[in-house]
């Protein structure tokens, strides 16, 4: 049984004749007659009596009419819900990013977005797992490496400068040496990131006192006077009690990329959030 034939049945029941139903439904009279016949055959019951004046519902037809009307209501409810979500940009967006990026750069933008689109729920995931966009583990991802997946649409979002930071009032280390200088750096798994490598090259005699995979942790240790740290400038410049020091050269910056799955290209809420992020952060 074709569910769509129920819609034909509804139209005929309401119009009372095949011709009138055809005209209002936008399909030809013989087609509607045939599809009604197909429905009657599929369902095993005569739904109308055919007269010269039109079609009269049988008892079975009347019973089915009640069901068909409820089905129609459910279809319309579905359409209203989806239209409403679209127009009101309701729904959830799952975002993945690194921790400091999410905390310091994304939250202001998301707070602004929440005021603009109060019905969108943003779920920000900041652990180090690489969330799979194809598997819908995340809808939008911010990464420091370019996206390689074919089904991901991405762009470079911004360039982030890094800086070297030390607690205010502490004596800066000597560039090219660093003896006696405690370092705060990335954890072992990320010890090969460009800024960590750079720091050990510039202060070859310094010693590491603290490792973390969390930039905020590094920043807090630095602020407590534990040592020297390379931090993204958006983060470091905002930490109280630390200053940026000059070691004669700049640490390497990083690009940040944003990507989403191509199947969500036309999703209104994703587009709206992305537009705002780009407007506020892109450089």
Query: Which residues in this chain contact a copy of itself in the complex, by CB under 8 A?
Result: 1-7, 43-46, 48-53, 56, 58-60, 63-64, 67-68, 70-71, 74-75, 77-79, 81-83, 85-86, 91-92, 134-136, 151, 261, 263-264, 266-267
* Residues with Cβ within 8 Å of residue 148, at least 6 apart in sequence: none
Alpha helices in the chain (DSSP H): 3-15, 18-25, 29-43, 59-88, 99-100, 107-116, 194-202, 215-223, 233-236, 268-281
Instruction: Please choose which of DNA, a copy of itself, none residue 20 contacts, taking the beta carbon within 5 to 8 angstroms, the exact cut-off set by kind.
Output: DNA
The whole-angstrom separation of Cα 76 and Cα 62 is 21
Q: What is the dihedral of CA 92, 158, 201, 235, to 10 degrees?
A: -60
Q: Does position 266 bind DNA by CB under 7 A? A: no
Shortest Cβ 72–DNA spacing (Å):
18
Contact 138, 260 (CB under 8 A): no
Q: Which of 50, 119, 155, 265 binds DNA (CB under 7 A)?
A: 50
Instruction: Report residue 191 as tokens.
Output: 């010890």
Q: Which residue has the tokens 């690194």?
A: 98
Residue number, 71 or 245, with CB nearest to a copy of itself: 71
Binding residues for DNA, total number by CB under 7 A: 18
Instruction: Please choose which of a copy of itself, DNA, none residue 244 contacts, taking the beta carbon within 5 to 8 angstroms, the exact cut-off set by kind.
Output: none
Binding residues for DNA restricted to 136-155, rule: CB under 7 A: 150
Binding residues for DNA restricted to 55-74, rule: CB under 7 A: 55
- Which residues would be at the binding site for DNA (CB under 7 A)? 17-20, 27-31, 33-35, 50, 52-55, 150
């Amino acid at each position: 049984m074709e569910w769509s034939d129920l819609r034909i049945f509804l139209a005929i029941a309401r119009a009372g004749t095949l011709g009138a139903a055809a005209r209002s439904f936008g399909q030809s009279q013989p087609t509607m007659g045939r599809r009604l016949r197909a429905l009657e055959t599929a369902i095993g019951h005569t739904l109308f009596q055919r007269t010269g004046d039109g079609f009269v519902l049988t008892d079975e037809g009347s019973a089915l009419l009640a069901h068909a009307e409820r089905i129609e209501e459910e279809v319309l409810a579905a359409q209203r819900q989806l239209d409403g979500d679209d127009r009101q940009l309701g729904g959830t967006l799952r975002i993945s990013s690194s921790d400091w990026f999410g905390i310091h750069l994304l939250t202001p933008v998301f707070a602004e977005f929440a005021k603009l689109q109060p019905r969108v729920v943003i779920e920000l995931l900041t652990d180090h797992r690489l969330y799979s966009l194809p598997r819908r583990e995340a809808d939008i991802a911010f990464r420091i490496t370019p996206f390689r997946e074919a089904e991901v649409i991405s762009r470079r979002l911004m360039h982030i400068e890094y800086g070297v930071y030390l607690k205010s009032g502490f004596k800066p280390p000597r560039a090219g040496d660093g003896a006696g200088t405690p370092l705060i750096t990335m954890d072992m798994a990320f010890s090969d990131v460009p800024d960590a490598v750079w720091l050990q090259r510039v202060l070859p005699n310094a010693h590491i006192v603290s490792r973390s995979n969390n930039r905020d942790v590094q920043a807090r240790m630095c602020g407590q006077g534990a040592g020297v740290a390379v931090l993204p400038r958006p983060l470091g410049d905002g930490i109280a009690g630390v200053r940026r020091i000059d070691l004669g050269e700049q640490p390497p910056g990083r690009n940040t990329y944003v990507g989403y799955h191509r199947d969500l290209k036309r999703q209104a809420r994703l587009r709206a959030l992305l537009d705002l992020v780009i407007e506020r952060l892109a450089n």
